């Protein structure tokens, strides 16, 4: 029997989701929830709603994917505008459904028949969304689209042609120091030219988010933002503990490592355009064409685990990894799940650097977690967990793949390992800066644009004292955060990268000692999806939770020692 061909992403037919019909469906579900005669019946109503929304979210996700592939496409731009306008009303109706579920007298026993984390999530959702803030949500969606469009429209003049911001990021890591400095200067000049617009968009975002928070009974947007992004079971107190760990343990270790690195690079100090350089003569870049990188990734996953290899092949056969940077394509990268088709999708922008291998490992970790959650029929409200859990899936995959760096970097594999570990470690202070900046901004929503830039500069000097930005305008004036898309689009998401980095670094250390054992722990963690909180998942895997006392102390000691050892023998001799 002939093997059934894998359907390609481009072959999926799209027709606009019926938001009005979805609202009517929820009206019926509300009546069913109100009349449910026990907790089992109540859970059954939720199951029906989840199945309906898997199809609906697939349609919406397909439109989003095609819009990001080319923001100039008027049809999908129009579809994005439609969903920006209509989805807040649907979210409000979904909140009404959740209220009906929790108002049912049998809801107190709901946690006995479904995962209690689902109940926690429902309760959090009820605190952050209802019909009172529909107009604010519409405005927020429009502002996010306005920001994305503004960034995507910018052209960066480079050596006689206009290139994208994603391509500029590649030049920022060029072996030649002057080229890197010039690349940062071009980015700063272009974004500085639209800084008034960036300030205006963000100012309106802060105001609308503050307004919705007050309507929902919060003092400001901070707690609401944490709950909305899915921080269940922890909040600012735990994040502060982790942030202080970064300041106490990671910053001193990185300061020492950066000073040693500066000497090896022959520099008097690490400037902004040196901060992402780790190897003398320039960073290690992967060898070969994009097609060769894909072949190397296939060989790696085949050897690592047959299930991983088969899944990567399925993604390639479905053309579900769009990696070419091109005009009109949105920057950055993401993984999306098309639930109705059991098909993940990876969006990326290759730029010829280690970031390309990162896409084939980081976003693949997300996609594989999506596939396993679907295969295990994990409730859509939990699926791959909160963002901190989802990012653990992706960042830990990156760390594990260091053991296969020879597939991508040949004889420079040891240098690539040094570079990847150092880069992940170097991220922690920046990541907590992004999160802390947002906290302070939303606690003080009346800040002026100038005050926000001064705040950013102050935090960077505290958390990244080893980076000198003084000779690069725009960045020296505190502008870097304005193209950190998460700050505009997904407030309080960024700390999740930091929490997951804490776990990923530990997986990497375990893989260095016993790869098979580390991979087994990782695959077990992925199979759990979002059915447990980050503390339980970490402890199940034999790791320290980011919120454990001294979570980073041993990690920083071990990472520093390993990097120093790799630096002494960069070629692995």
Identify the segments of the chain with pLDDT beneath 70.
1-5, 569-573
Q: How is 377-436 classified by DSSP, letter by letter?
A: T--TTTTT-SHHHHHHHHHHHHHHGGGGTHHHHGGGHHHHHHHHHHHHHHHHHHHHHHHH
Q: What's the rounded Cα separation, in Å, for the pair 298 and 313?
A: 7
Residue 174 domain flag: no
Residue 445's nearest CA partner among 218, 144, 258 is 218
Q: Report residue 377 as tokens.
A: 């029929």
| Residue 282: predicted pLDDT | 79
Q: Which of 108, 123, 144 is the last residue of a domain?
A: 144
| Residue 283: predicted pLDDT | 82
Residue 356 domain flag: no
| Residue 204: predicted pLDDT | 98
CB atoms inside a 10 Å sphere around CB 141:
18
Residue 183 domain flag: no
- In three-state secondary structure terms, 322 is strand
| Residue 507: predicted pLDDT | 96
* Separation of CA 549 from chain center: 25
Q: Report residue 396 as tokens.
A: 């830990």
Q: What's the rounded Cα separation, in Å, for the pair 399 and 537?
A: 17
Q: What's the rounded Cα separation, in Å, for the pair 138 and 142?
A: 6
| Residue 551: predicted pLDDT | 87
Residue 426's nearest CA partner among 468, 463, 452 is 463
Q: Report residue 29 as tokens.
A: 């579900």
Question: In this predicted model, what pLDDT tens digit does every residue of 12-24 receive, in sequence order?
Answer: 999 999 999 999 9
Angle, CA 115 vertex, CA 112 and CA 121 arms, to 5°: 115
Question: In this predicted model, what pLDDT tens digit does every residue of 216-254 receive, in sequence order?
Answer: 999 999 999 999 999 988 999 999 999 999 999 999 999
Q: What's the rounded Cα separation, in Å, for the pair 443 and 439?
A: 6
Q: Which of 144, 174, 208 is the last residue of a domain?
A: 144
| Residue 3: predicted pLDDT | 55
Q: What is the CATH number of the domain that holds 234?
A: 1.10.1370.30
Residue 283's nearest CA partner among 410, 425, 484, 423 is 423
Q: What is the pTM of this model?
A: 0.86
**Shared-domain flag, residues 438 and 568:** yes
Q: Which of 118, 144, 170 is the last residue of a domain?
A: 144
Q: Report residue 92 as tokens.
A: 């409000």
**Shared-domain flag, residues 407 and 521:** yes
Q: Are strands 343-347 and 334-338 parallel, antiparallel or unpaired?
A: antiparallel
**Shared-domain flag, residues 393 and 534:** yes
Per-residue HEC secondary structure of 160-228 comes to CEEECHHHHHHHCCCCCHHHHHHHHHHHHHHHHHCHHHHHHHHHHHHHHHHHHHHHCCCCCHHHHHHHH
């Amino acid at each position: 029997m002939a093997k059934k061909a894998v359907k390609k992403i481009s072959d999926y037919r799209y027709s606009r989701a019926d938001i009005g019909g979805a609202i009517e469906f929820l009206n019926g579900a509300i009546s069913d929830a109100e009349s449910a005669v026990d907790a089992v019946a109540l859970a059954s109503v939720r199951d029906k709603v989840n199945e309906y929304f898997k199809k609906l979210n697939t349609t919406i996700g397909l439109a989003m994917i095609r819009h990001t592939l080319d923001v100039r496409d008027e049809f999908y731009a129009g579809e994005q505008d439609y969903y920006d306008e209509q989805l807040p009303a649907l979210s409000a109706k979904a909140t009404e459904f959740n209220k009906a579920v929790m108002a049912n007298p049998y809801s107190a026993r709901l946690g006995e028949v479904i995962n209690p984390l689902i109940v926690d999530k429902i309760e959090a959702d009820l605190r952050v969304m209802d019909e009172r803030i529909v107009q604010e949500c519409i405005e927020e969606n429009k502002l996010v689209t306005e920001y994305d469009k503004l960034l995507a429209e910018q052209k960066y003049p480079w050596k006689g042609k206009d290139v994208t911001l994603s391509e500029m990021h590649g030049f920022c890591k060029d072996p030649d120091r002057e080229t890197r400095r010039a690349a940062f200067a071009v980015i700063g000049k272009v974004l500085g030219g639209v800084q008034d617009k960036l300030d205006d968009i963000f100012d309106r975002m802060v105001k609308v988010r503050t307004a919705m928070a007050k309507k929902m009974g919060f003092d400001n947007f901070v707690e609401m933002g944490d709950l909305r992004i899915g921080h269940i079971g922890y909040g600012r107190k735990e994040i502060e503990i982790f942030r202080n760990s970064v300041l106490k343990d990671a910053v001193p270790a990185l300061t020492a490592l950066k000073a040693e690195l500066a000497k090896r690079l022959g520099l008097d100090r690490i400037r902004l355009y040196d901060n992402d350089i780790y190897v003398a003569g320039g960073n290690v870049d992967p060898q070969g064409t994009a097609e060769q990188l894909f072949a190397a990734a296939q060989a790696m996953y085949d050897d690592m685990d047959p299930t991983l290899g088969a899944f990567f092949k399925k993604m390639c056969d479905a053309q579900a990894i769009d990696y070419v940077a091109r005009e009109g394509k949105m920057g950055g990268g993401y993984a999306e799940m098309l639930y109705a088709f059991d098909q993940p999708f990876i969006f990326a922008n290759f730029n010829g650097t280690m970031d390309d291998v990162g896409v084939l490992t980081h976003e693949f970790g997300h996609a594989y977690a999506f596939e396993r959650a679907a295969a295990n029929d994990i409730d859509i409200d939990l699926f791959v967990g909160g963002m901190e859990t989802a990012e653990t899936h992706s960042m830990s995959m990156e760390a594990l793949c260091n053991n296969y760096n020879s597939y991508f970097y040949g004889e420079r594999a040891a240098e690539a390992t040094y570079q990847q570990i150092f880069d992940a470690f170097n991220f922690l202070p920046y990541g907590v800066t992004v999160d802390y900046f947002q906290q302070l901004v939303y606690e003080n929503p009346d800040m002026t644009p100038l005050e926000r830039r001064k705040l950013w500069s102050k935090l960077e000097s505290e958390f990244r004292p080893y980076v000198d930005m003084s000779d690069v305008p725009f960045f020296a004036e505190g502008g870097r955060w304005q193209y950190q898309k998460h700050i505009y689009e997904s407030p309080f998401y960024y700390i999740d990268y930091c929490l997951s980095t804490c776990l990923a670094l530990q997986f990497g250390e375990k893989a260095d000692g016993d790869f098979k054992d580390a991979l087994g722990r990782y695959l077990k963690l992925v199979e759990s999806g979002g059915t447990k909180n980050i503390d339980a998942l970490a402890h199940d895997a034999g790791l320290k939770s980011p919120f454990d006392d001294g979570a980073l102390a041993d990690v920083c000691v071990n990472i520093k020692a390993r990097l120093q050892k790799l630096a002494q023998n960069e070629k692995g001799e």
